[in-house]
Structure 1
Amino acid sequence: MRLAPRSIRARRTLAVAMSALVTAAVGGSAGCDTVAGGQQLSGRAQLVDDLASRMSSAGSLTYTATYSLPHGTSATIAQAQDPSRVAYTYPGGELVLTPDQTADCRSSGGATTCTLTPPPSPPGNPTSALLSQIGGRGLLAPTVVIDLLSAVAVDGGTVVSQHDTTLSGEHATCLDVTGLSNAPATSFSACVTTEGMLGSFTGTVDGNPIDLTLDDYRPTVALDAFALPGGATIADKRSK
């Protein structure tokens, strides 16, 4: 249930897109802006860029983030470096990405089956189909949030308001977004910690309702964080 952060190239792409943006104040409301193109980079546009950059930078960190989900359930993202690995654990399944394989593990009726396929390219970046599966179980990969922030940056009709909070002892900057077009979500609220962790997210992404909040953050991972579940049936579909 872990989401893998985006590459440095994604940050550069976003920075180029942001260079032509301007934010116009909406109705004189403090803290709210509409992102528009063609003039100078505004403070709000810079804020969106900063949050996306924070999350992209977090791709080089080692950490374990545990999130609370609705109905008393939880999910976890574990990420490590050298080599780059990430594991997303969520109710009913687990997605583990390593340099050797993608392991898609699903549990049903007390039995777990793990399907092994070739590793993603670039490393740590799961396919859209796998990301949709995660979203359907209530977890959101950080790369999806980075894509949404990129969409906010180039959408002239988007309205953004900002506030700060503390989540699991971590300071976080939060955005409330409405009016987003041509993106997996039309509106959402997201918080990003100083370290670049996804602190919280509320919204509907690709038809999947998401409501998660950071419950625990540690700059370490367990020794077995990327191991397949014990007793799982293995279906190896990697080419030999």
Structure 2
Amino acid sequence: MPRARLIPLVLVAVTLGATLSGCGEAGQVMDRADLVNTLASRMDESGVLTYTAEYQLPGGGTAMIAQAQSPLRSAYAYPDGKLTITDEATADCRRAGGTTTCTLTAPPAPNNEPAVAAFRDAGQHGLIAPTVVIGLLTAAALDTQATIEQSDTTIAGRPATCVTARGVSDAAASAFDACITTDGVLGSFSGVVDGGTVDIALTRYRDSADPALFALPAGAKVVDQRPGAGTVRGK
């Protein structure tokens, strides 16, 4: 994951709280900022972990988020596709008509907007990236008209902090529920993100990641859009 995007989002919430310290709602804003900082810090710190998290989707489908180190790489798999991010490329693989096509673009750099757009688009397929959840939490924290409730629970045997947000303006989701485990892994998420319904719950977690999870699907057609690369290879 492009972890560099997390810090600016958190700093916005903290700065707003300090700016409004003389207003009647200052306590409410600072509480929101504290909540976002806590959850963002967990997710940011989880960037040093190697793990595989499996999720249950509505209708019996499954999804997966995996991350590994040295080099840092991540993978997001859902029923009709897969998104992988390595130091070589961002690969967006999608199945249609019995064919899997993987589009390769340059690997993400800090504040890489194409990579962030790919993360958001995964929500159209029932899966959401932790970086997108951080953005939604920040939007809720900055919106003084939104309501945010916090609770604690256990998901797949792991303690988690949960947030229920409603009435969020100018965000990819106006209402959502999200749970983040104490080690910074996304435990669950429910909401409509950019028009796509996301409803996932962690079912299994392990502190390892098979290297095959970050490889392109076997037999996939590859469209290489990286600078200086060929355009199409594979079947």
TM-score (norm 2): 0.86
TM superposition shift of 1:16: 5.1
Percent identical: 49
Matched, 1:115 2:103: yes
Greater RCO, CA 8 A, separation 6+: 1
Moved more, 43-52 or 13-22: 13-22
2:156 aligns to what? 168
The match for 1:65 among 53, 57, 67 is 53
1:85-234 equivalences in 2 (<5 Å): 85-122=73-110, 127-234=115-222
Distance in 1, matches of 2:96 and 2:8, equals 42
Q: Structure 1 residues 217, 126: CA separation in 2 closer, same or farther (over 3 Å shift)?
A: farther
Moved more, 141-150 or 40-49: 40-49
Q: Structure 1 residues 153, 234: CA separation in 2 closer, same or farther (over 3 Å shift)?
A: same
1:163-196 residue CA offsets vs partner (Å, 9 max, x unmatched)? 1111111100101111211111111110010001
The one-letter amino acid of 1:136's match is Q
Are the counterparts in 2 of residues 21 and 153 from structure 1 also a CA contact under 8 Å?
no
Q: Structure 1 residues 82, 46: CA separation in 2 closer, same or farther (over 3 Å shift)?
A: same
- List 4+ stretches of structure 1 deviating above 3 A: 36-45, 123-126
Q: Cα RMSD (Å) of the superposition?
A: 2.3
Larger helix proportion, structure 1 or 2?
2
SS at match of 1:185: coil
The one-letter amino acid of 1:6's match is R
Aligned residues: 223
1:27 aligns to what? none
The match for 1:18 among 10, 14, 19 is 14
Runs of at least 5 residues in structure 1 that lack an aligned partner in the other structure: 23-35
The one-letter amino acid of 1:239's match is P
Are the counterparts in 1 of residues 32 and 141 from structure 2 also a CA contact under 8 Å?
no
Runs of at least 5 residues in structure 2 that lack an aligned partner in the other structure: 19-23, 229-235
Distance in 2, matches of 1:10 and 1:137, equals 23
Q: Structure 1 residues 12, 136: CA separation in 2 closer, same or farther (over 3 Å shift)?
A: closer
Are the counterparts in 2 of residues 159 and 177 from structure 1 also a CA contact under 8 Å?
yes
TM superposition shift of 1:122: 2.6
Distance in 2, matches of 1:12 and 1:42, equals 17
